[in-house]
Every structure is written in C-alpha cells, then in structure tokens.
Amino acid sequence: MSQHGDPPGQTAIPITAAAGSASSSRYARCHERVRARDPGLFYDLMWWLTVRPLLATRRVRAIDADRVPASSAVILAPNHTTYADHLLVAGVSGRRLSFMAKSALFDGGLRFVTWLGAFPVMRGAHDREAIQTALDVLERGGCLVMYCEGTMSRDGMPRQPAKPGIGRLALQTGAPIVPLAILGAPRPGRLRFPRITIRFGEPLHVVPTEARSRVREQQIADEVLVEITRLHKDLLARGRALTRRPAVTTGSRWPGFRRRGT
C-alpha cells in the first residue's frame, strides 16, 4: 500500500536512499576504472615529473621502505599532511598505489585523478561503493593507501581517534598494514621545497575473518595510529639523521632504478 497519496503500484523512496543511489551512480565510472586495473602510463608520467626530481636532488629520503611487499596485497597507512602524500609514498615504495579521496574532488574537473589511482569516498556516510573498490584493489593483490585519521592534519601530527575502516579492510582481506610517518611535507604558499623523510614501520598482520566486529576493527585502527604517532615522534626527535642515503626508488616499473635497502 503506497503512502502519502502515491499512485497505486508505486512506493515512496526515502530521500536519503535516493540521494545515496544518485551519488553512487555519479561516481560509478570512477570506481569501475580503479576496480578494473592498477594505475598505468599517466601515473608513471606524473611520477617522473613530480617525484623523480625530488629523489634525484635528495629532497626525499626513506627509511625501511623494503618493508613494503613488492607485489602482494598491502595497506599503507601514513599520516596525512598534504595532497602530495600519495605521490611521495609512491615514489619511495616502488608500488603503483590506489587511494580514497573526498568525493568533492570528482565533482569538478578533477576526475582525471582516477588515472592516479584515486577513487571517491563520500564523507559522513557509509559509502559501500568506496569500500567495495578498496576490497577489489586488495583482492587482486594491489597496494592501497588509507589515511586512518580520515582527514588532513595541518601540522602533520597524527590525530585521534582513528577511523575503523582500515581495520575492516584488513580483517576482510588479510592484507598486512604497513604504518608510516611523513615528516617535512610541502606547504601551500611556501616557495622553498622542504626536505622530506618517510619512515616505514613493521607490518601489522591480521588474521582474516568473515565475522564483522566493530570493536576489533576499531582496535586495529587504534593500533595503527599509535604506531604512526610513534614513528612521527621519532622522526621529530632524530629526523634525517636516521638515514644517510637517497630514498628507496622503484623496481622494474620505472627503468633505470632499483630498490635499495635503507
């Protein structure tokens, strides 16, 4: 029986559900592209134009980047400092990365970021499409960057509390989580590009399970954020003295470079 005078045979659709459906369809092509394949030639080109000069001039260095597996599924969990974090992490990890970005970026002329591995997530909502895209990336053995704080920090310091989504993905896929800290990321309006140090922590291995547990998901997310905070504080205390050579570069994806331990 229809409500509020709807014509017979039609059912009223809640506004929230209709809005959610419209939003999902609006970003469908963005999700499909990231689900289907890893980033390709455009991703490589942007890496050469942006990150490669920083590596060559030793403006970016990394510590323990060999903790990132070379090919299997993994979740990288950095602190979120600037919009350049994704490319910086890509430059020292040797992997093609996929990552969530706020859906507002895809509403204008920035949909090309899907070619850089980005896919939209709607803030303040349970975005099933974004979760499914992240699962698809990991299930095909991809590398996913996820900011467990859920937002950007102006001063680079990790913020509490962590969002449970990273714990959910780890429990569903069994992908290890590698926490990492970025120190010295560039700031808008500053002409001088800072020296950047990225430190990778020990991988956190999670036993996959089909049973959902919000408490366990949050516990994993909290553990990751605690480790990110510890790594960041250590960088603040000792900084670039922790490393004596250029950042770990890539493997065969970008000819002329090879991965090196740090």
The average confidence (pLDDT) of the chain is 77
Residue 256's pLDDT band, with cuts at 50, 70 and 90, is very low
Rg (CA), the chain: 20
Q: Which of 7, 36, 22, 64 is nearest to 245 (CA)?
A: 64
Residues 125-175: pLDDT tens digits?
Answer: 678 899 999 999 999 999 999 998 877 776 667 777 899 999 999 999 999
Backbone angles phi, psi at 218, to 5 degrees: -65, -35
Residue 39 near residue 96 (C-beta atoms within 8 A): yes
- Structural domain boundaries of the chain? 39-242
Residue 11's pLDDT band, with cuts at 50, 70 and 90, is very low
DSSP string for 51-79: IHHHHHTT-EEEESGGGS-SSS-EEEEE-
CA-based torsion, 110, 115, 117, 119: positive or negative: positive
Largest CA distance in the chain: 75
Residue 198 near residue 62 (C-beta atoms within 8 A): yes
Q: Is 255 exposed, middle or buried (0-12, 13-18, 19+ CB in 10 A)?
A: exposed
pLDDT of residue 30: 85
Cα angle: 177, vertex 181, 185; to 5 degrees: 135
Residue 135 near residue 169 (C-beta atoms within 8 A): yes
Q: Compute the average pLDDT of residues 24-36.
A: 82
Residues 172-210: pLDDT tens digits?
Answer: 999 999 999 998 866 655 556 678 889 999 999 999 988
The region of weakest confidence among 31-45, 197-211, 234-248 is 234-248
Query: Would you state the structure tokens that stand for residue 155, as one six-digit string?
Result: 């001063």
Count Cβ atoms below 10 Å from residue 128 Cβ, excluding itself.
Answer: 11
pLDDT of residue 242: 61
Q: Is 47 exposed, middle or buried (0-12, 13-18, 19+ CB in 10 A)?
A: buried
Residues 70-98: pLDDT tens digits?
Answer: 889 999 999 988 777 888 888 888 888 99
pLDDT of residue 107: 76
Query: Would you state the structure tokens that stand for residue 128, as one six-digit string?
Result: 């099933």
pLDDT of residue 13: 31
Question: What's this model's pTM, rounded to 2 decimal places?
Answer: 0.79
Query: Would you state the structure tokens that stand for residue 63, as one six-digit string?
Result: 């510590």
Backbone angles phi, psi at 97, to 5 degrees: -110, 150
Adjacent-strand bridge partners of 121: 102
What CATH number does the domain located at 39-242 have? Answer: 3.40.1130.10
Residue 114 near residue 134 (C-beta atoms within 8 A): no
pLDDT of residue 253: 36
Say which residue, 57 or 237, is predicted with more confidence.
237
What one-character DSSP code corresponds to residue 153?
A: -
pLDDT of residue 211: 83
Cα angle: 252, vertex 255, 259; to 5 degrees: 50
